[in-house]
Amino acid sequence: MITLCGFGVSNYYNKLKLIMLEKDISFEEKLVYPWQQELLGQSSPLGKIPYIETGNGSLSESQVILDYLEDLYPELPMFPLDLFQRAKCRELIQHLELNCEWVARRLYKESFFGGSVSNETKLDVKYRLTKGLEAVTKISKFSPYILGATFTAADCVAFVHFTMIQLATKKIYNENILEQVLPDISSYMQLMESRPHVQTIMQDRLNAIKAFVRLKVKYDG
């Protein structure tokens, strides 16, 4: 049995939860907050969530975990079978994370956690995020899924990260940078939100946010 460890506010946690639901993998969830370093211990070397616990030990880094789950449970594949198209799917995921979400993440301290971010950072993020999203448009189809006719792992990744990027940039810049670069984004998000497992992770996310707010802990992502 796989145990998914972390908390439902995290988009990287929700990426794995969505993948496991879509692949019909049976799993348990263990609530671990990133500031609970005594629980994270050796399981996640950088002290980040999510990580998984398995009969063989623990594993960190969501993309490594996603690839492991795909190897372990090849039924209900989340990647194209053709090896080049598989690599293209991973290419898109890498751009979504490294050049979009990881860039926008520098805003979260102010957009979600009550802190503040310098104007210099805001300008830099806007410039780099726009470039990252432009790169994503060049290798995406949105017809109707991000890579075309088939729902893939890239959709699970795109949905959770687009959700955060949209919320953060609307709050900081008062404009929807995602929509400016990806005009089809709202119909894509609606399509994703019509999926039952997406509805589950979004409802669980809302509950996780409420529980997190009640804790009144200082945390900035």
Ligand X SMILES: N[C@@H](CCC(=O)N[C@@H](CS)C(=O)NCC(=O)O)C(=O)O
Q: Considering the complex, what minimum distance in angstroms separates the CB of residue 105 from ligand X?
A: 7
Place of tokens 């039924």: 75
Place of tokens 């119909």: 187
Q: Considering the complex, what minimum distance in angstroms separates the CB of residue 97 from ligand X?
A: 7
* SS3 per-residue string spanning 135-200: HHHHCCCCCCECCECCCCHHHHHHHHHHHHHHHHHHHHHCCCHHHHHCCCHHHHHHHHHCCHHHHH
Q: Considering the complex, what minimum distance in angstroms separates the CB of residue 184 from ligand X?
A: 26
Point out which residues bind ligand X (CB under 6 A): 10-12, 34, 47-50, 61-63, 221
Phi first, then psi, for residue 72 (nearest 5°) are -75, -35
Nearer to ligand X, 5 or 198 (CB): 5
Q: Considering the complex, what minimum distance in angstroms separates the CB of residue 40 from ligand X?
A: 9
Nearer to ligand X, 113 or 141 (CB): 113
Q: Considering the complex, what minimum distance in angstroms separates the CB of residue 94 from ligand X?
A: 11
Nearer to ligand X, 53 or 179 (CB): 53
Nearer to ligand X, 48 or 195 (CB): 48
Q: Say how far apart CA 184 and CA 145 lie, in whole Å.
A: 11
Question: CA angle, 124 as apex, 118 and 125 as ends, to 5°?
Answer: 90
Are the beta carbons of 17 and 63 closer than 8 angstroms? no
Q: Say how far apart CA 188 and CA 196 lie, in whole Å.
A: 15
Nearer to ligand X, 173 or 219 (CB): 219
